[in-house]
Amino acid sequence: MPPTAPGRTAVFVDGCRLPFQRSGTGYEDLMAYDMGRMVLRGLLTRTGLPADRVERVVMGTVVQDVNTSNVARESALAAGLPSSVPAFTVSMACISSNQAITSGMDLLRTGQADVMIAGGTETLSDPPVRLRRPVRKRLFGARNAKNTADYLELLQGLSPGDLLPETPSIAEFSTDEVMGESADRLAAMFGISRKVQDEYALRSHRRAAEARDDGRLDEELYPATVPPDFEPITADNVIRDDTSMEKLRDLPPAFVKPFGTITAGSSSALTDGASATLLMAEGVAEAEGFAPRAALRTYTYVAQDPKTELLLGPAYAIPEVLDEAGLSLDDIDVIELHEAFAGQVLAVLEALRSQTFAEEHLNRSDPVGEVDMDRLNARGGSLSLGHPFGATGARLVMSAVNRLHDEGGRWALVSACAAGGQGHALLVERLG
């Protein structure tokens, strides 16, 4: 990254998220736009920032609703931000709100904005379901029909199967594989057993439950009120308090049957939610009386072959940001790593410690290093808290900042994989 002018470092001032809900539950009747406006309004309320002080809004989303295709703009207007505030939406699969935040970093560093909001919103309760292409073509052609005969002619050639709805697939367009199949292959490639995956999934749920029960998650949550009863939703509902190694062991393979090692218990659940962060240029924050909590230092994005290394992005992105900052894993106090699957997390950790991977894939003579598990996802992760595609990245960043302050650390590392064989890493330094 190019050098940043004095006073233009992008800083994290505050952030919040709606409690994440398993799809089909708390937010099942909401649009992504509804959650977006609630979290933006919540952030303004929480920080006391006047709406007219915001200069830009960027939000990530993945499964877009055609009616609110620029969901950042619609959410901002509904949240009461002035119509003069530009807003745009970014989509980069599971790292969409990471991209929103780093887009904000660049706007702040280059002086294009002083104060901005970056986050994301996602509903998987109501994905767009459309008619199949033969029917769509005929409906489009119906605009020119003039009589009954014309309409009947449009129906010619349709089969009963053409009338079935077309539901969106969570498969890679380039490979036609679902992500779980790639996760199974990755786990096998790195020798990650079913048992250690189940142990990691249990760890994630236990840590999330502990953080919820002792109040550590409260600092990032903003209650959501959902019509028609408007009873506040105040807690994540993806955490499985009652899970155990016995229950996880009894689950069948979810993707590669009968010998796969990825199960529903070691996979992140379909989730609805929204998150938002307030970012400022450091000099502006200090001049206006805000106490920035962290500096966003350096980031990178990487891409690999989606067939063979779909979920391995963090293993490539992490050494890039560490090298640029002159740091090693030993210098990192807090690590927030997206948990798409337990097998994916463990494969990334194995790649980072592997001499062979370092030599053959990173052009390094030594491994990146060993991750201290006590520093990794100490409050749970996407396996237990949930994974609203477009909102997870901002959750990772705010969790990293909160943990730095609560645990007395200096450096945090945020990293995530994404569909398409992409990956991201960001270094965060505590201030104050």
Q: Is 16 a catalytic residue?
A: no
Nearest to 322 by CA among 403, 394, 415: 415
Nearest to 398 by CA among 423, 379, 417: 379
| Torsion sign over Cα 305, 307, 311, 315 | negative
Asked whether 224 and 25 are in contact (CB, 8 A), the reply is no
Helix axes 342-353, 194-213, angle to 10 degrees: 110
What φ, ψ does residue 51 adopt, rounded to 5°? -60, -30
Q: How far is CA 318 from the centre of its chain?
A: 17
For residue 19, give the DSSP letter.
P
Asked whether 49 and 285 are in contact (CB, 8 A), the reply is no
What φ, ψ does residue 387 adopt, rounded to 5°? -140, 80
Q: Tokens standing for 103?
A: 């887009």
Query: Omega of the bond prior to 253 within 30 degrees of 0, cis?
Result: no
Active-site residue, from 334, 417, 427, 428 = 417
In this structure, which amino acid lies at residue 183? Answer: A
Q: Tokens standing for 72?
A: 């950042």
Query: Omega of the bond prior to 314 within 30 degrees of 0, cis?
Result: no
Give the three-class secondary structure for 334.
strand
Active-site residue, from 30, 43, 90, 94 = 94
Q: Is 417 a catalytic residue?
A: yes
Asked whether 187 and 343 are in contact (CB, 8 A), the reply is yes
The residues assigned a catalytic role are 94, 417
